[in-house]
A and B are shown apart, each in its own frame.
Chain A
Amino acid sequence: MDTIAVLGTGRVGTAVARIALDAGYAVHVAASGAASEIELLAEIMTPGARAMTAADAAREADIVVLAVPLHKYRNVDPAPLAGKIVIDALNYWAPVDGVIDEFEGRGLSTSEIVAEHFTHSRMVKTLNHIGYHEMEEDRLPSGMPGRRALAVASDDSEAAEQVRGMLDRFGFDALHSGPLVTGRAFEAGTPIFNGSFTAEELRKELSTSVAALAR
């Protein structure tokens, strides 16, 4: 469990790659094109990460982080991600991204919809409810008071557990909120999305928000 592939070299992707490198992981970064197109970018923005194509990056990784623009997720070939833990950090935020029909009307979280494309992957929703520069600034060692906690939703509790361990190495507490549907409790616009919480606070917030989903 020591290689992480980050698909997307934008604000979120480069931040995730840097914190993964700091945490001692081997990191692959990829964008939509050839490896050569992002070599300089990787050298300067994510020193230590290997620039690859998305397919190669994913194939050789244990965990794949999706950090592409939401409306482009279908351009990512699901085949090399089959059997992998895939972290969906994407958000649908109509006031900012505009209305995307596919994400309207079904009452589903983005991850439930994205999971329909990556049918053979072990989908985990997390890292979506923290700003990209907070990811770097809010990290604290395990056990420090006030450490920030992130929510993790997945139908696959073993995958959730592995991602929890990864987030702990990154510098965050993490709580498994339950199956992927519970990720609706921390979608864009929710109190969890808008706030910053310690583990204890997040546990409380999740128990009310997840209970509200059931109603």
Chain B
Amino acid sequence: MQLGAYSFGDTQRNPDGTLRSTAEAIRNLFDAIVHADTVGLDYFAIGEHHTVDMPASSPASLVNAAAAATRRIVLSSGVSVISTDDPVRVFQQFATADAVSGGGRIEITAGRGSSVESYPLFGYDLRDYEQLFEEKIDLLLTINRGSPVTWSGTMRPSLDGLDVVPRPVSGSLPIWIGTGGSAPSSVRAGRLGVPVSYGIIGGAPHRFAPLAELYRRTAAQHGHTGEDIKVSVAALGLVAPTKQEALDRFYPGWVNLNMEMGKLRGWPAPDDRAYLAQAHAPGAYYVGDPDDIAERIVHLHGHLGHMRHFLQMDIGGLPQEHLIESLTLLATEVKPRVERLLSKK
């Protein structure tokens, strides 16, 4: 089981609650990725967002910077909002990082995204929501299969035997579909024969078991078997030396995040009981000490059979030192426990 983290580059806060700079947020994120590599984490993903509190707007740039500064860690977007981007450009950027890194540890996770802020920013129409995703994922996968590329669709000019370079060191990049877990999305990933990454942000994670089964059986029905048919899980979480410390550290950022979303969406103030319910099994937040987190990851593995589990730790302006400690504990304390528990099964 691979373990890792993902981030939207959450902006830190001053003691009075105001946001610090977005540049500092990106610098902190970069430092955290390098640290994750140093302590031996398997995976780090950067999720595209375009807001002052979540400024990781350009995952490819960070993946390139980190590709040069790290040795072993797998780097990915999580997700690239492919609907409102150009798949040619996205592929080129990640293939460049693949070349810089020496090859074999750069991936793309393409998704529709959990928010729609990129639509007005890049001038796309929300009425094309499904069509944009359907076509652009198809183009991205076509480019990945080889160059020169011939492709046509309705949402973007066609390509007639054009080269898209550089080519990945091992011939192609792992391209995942990142989804919040609806049945039609699971069917789509299975039909395309690509690995699927479930973002689980609330409710009991084992609810996703039927979706994973639907994905795998759809893939088999379409003749896709082997290596590429696999599942990963992205979830909220934080590791600290004790459960109580983890709960206390994660909570202020969780409140901030919910306040921001509440302002935008007209939600009532966040509710502590909901926090505590989600932060204990079978809830969705992997907030705890190494034993707790390892047990819950292994428990979920019994339901989903996923090969990678990675946590979003730095929500709502988590202090950098807590992020760094959590990354260290995930690599050095949680990982051996997970391996031990899995080997006993």
Contact = CB atoms under 8 A, between A and B. Distances in A.
A and B together in one complex: yes
Interface of A: 9-11, 14, 31, 37-38, 40-41, 44-45, 69, 71, 93, 95-100, 133, 137, 188-189, 191, 194-195
26 contacts: A10-B182, A10-B183, A10-B184, A11-B181, A40-B221, A41-B183, A41-B184, A41-B187, A41-B214, A44-B213, A44-B217, A45-B183, A45-B214, A69-B129, A69-B130, A71-B126, A71-B127, A97-B116, A98-B119, A98-B120, A99-B126, A133-B207, A189-B265, A189-B266, A191-B268, A195-B268
Interface in B196-224: 202-203, 207, 210-211, 213-214, 217-218, 221
A146 B130 CA distance: 40
A146 B187 CA distance: 37
Nearest to B190: A40
A193 to B, nearest CB: 8
A95 B264 contact: yes
Interface in B162-201: 181-184, 187
A96 B182 contact: no
B214 A98 contact: no
Main secondary structure of the interface of A (DSSP, over half): helix
Contacts of A31: 184
A40 B266 contact: no
Nearest to A98: B126
Main secondary structure of the interface of B (DSSP, over half): helix
A109 to B, nearest CB: 16
Contact of B265 (A14, A44, A93, A137): A93
Question: Which of the four size classes fits the interface of chain B?
Answer: 20 to 34
Given A41-B183, A44-B210, A100 B126 contact: yes
Nearest to B128: A71
Nearest to B180: A11
A48 B38 CA distance: 51
Contact of A40 (B115, B120, B217, B265): B217
Interface in B91-139: 115-116, 119-120, 126-127, 129-130
B126 A133 contact: no
Nearest to A134: B203
